[in-house]
């Protein structure tokens, strides 16, 4: 079997496995909890870009989510279980997950501020946002 045939076969096998298990590629890479963080983040990005974030922020948390345009075109990147040593300012909010965001290439310009990291807490209704770390492009 040629190298090309092996690649095609491997791709088809992976696609079939994903379809049969109902699992996403994110689920295979990050596990079901990490995939949930990515899905929640995508929903939050879309909602914030539309100016409709009600119900996504944890009860009792007052956040400045900026303008809808700040969220336009952002993408969810790598979810991680929260590590207090890396984020001491957020530790008191008791988050369980963090995820970084990236700007689309067309928005990268010196001085642009954007939400670069999100912090979620798990509650009875799923994940809710407890904080946003804003970054400035240098």
pTM: 0.79
Alpha helices in the chain (DSSP H): 3-21, 25-49, 88-91
Query: How do residues 78-118 score in pLDDT, each as one tens digit?
Result: 999 999 999 999 999 999 999 999 999 888 889 989 999 99
Lowest mean pLDDT among 10-19, 87-96, 108-117, 124-133: 10-19
Residue 21: predicted pLDDT: 46
Classify domain 25-136 at the CATH topology level: Nuclear Transport Factor 2; Chain: A, (3.10.450)
Residue ranges per structural domain of the chain: 25-136
Under DSSP, the state recorded for 8 is H
Residue 45: predicted pLDDT: 97
Instruction: Give the residue from 61, 86, 85, 71 showing the smallest Cα distance to 116.
Output: 71
The DSSP bridge partners found for residue 102 are 75
């Amino acid at each position: 079997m040629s190298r090309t045939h092996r690649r095609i076969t491997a791709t088809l096998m992976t696609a079939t496995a994903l379809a049969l298990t109902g699992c996403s590629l994110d689920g295979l890479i990050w596990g079901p909890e990490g995939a949930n963080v990515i899905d929640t983040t995508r929903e939050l990005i879309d909602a914030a870009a539309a100016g409709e974030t009600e119900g996504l922020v944890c009860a009792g948390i007052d956040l400045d989510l900026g303008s809808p345009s700040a969220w336009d075109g952002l993408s969810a990147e790598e979810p991680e279980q929260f590590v207090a040593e890396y984020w001491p300012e957020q530790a008191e909010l008791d988050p369980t997950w963090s995820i970084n965001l990236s700007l689309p290439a067309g928005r990268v310009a010196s001085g642009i501020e954007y939400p670069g990291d999100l912090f979620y807490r798990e509650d009875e209704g799923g994940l809710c946002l407890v904080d946003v770390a804003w970054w400035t492009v240098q």
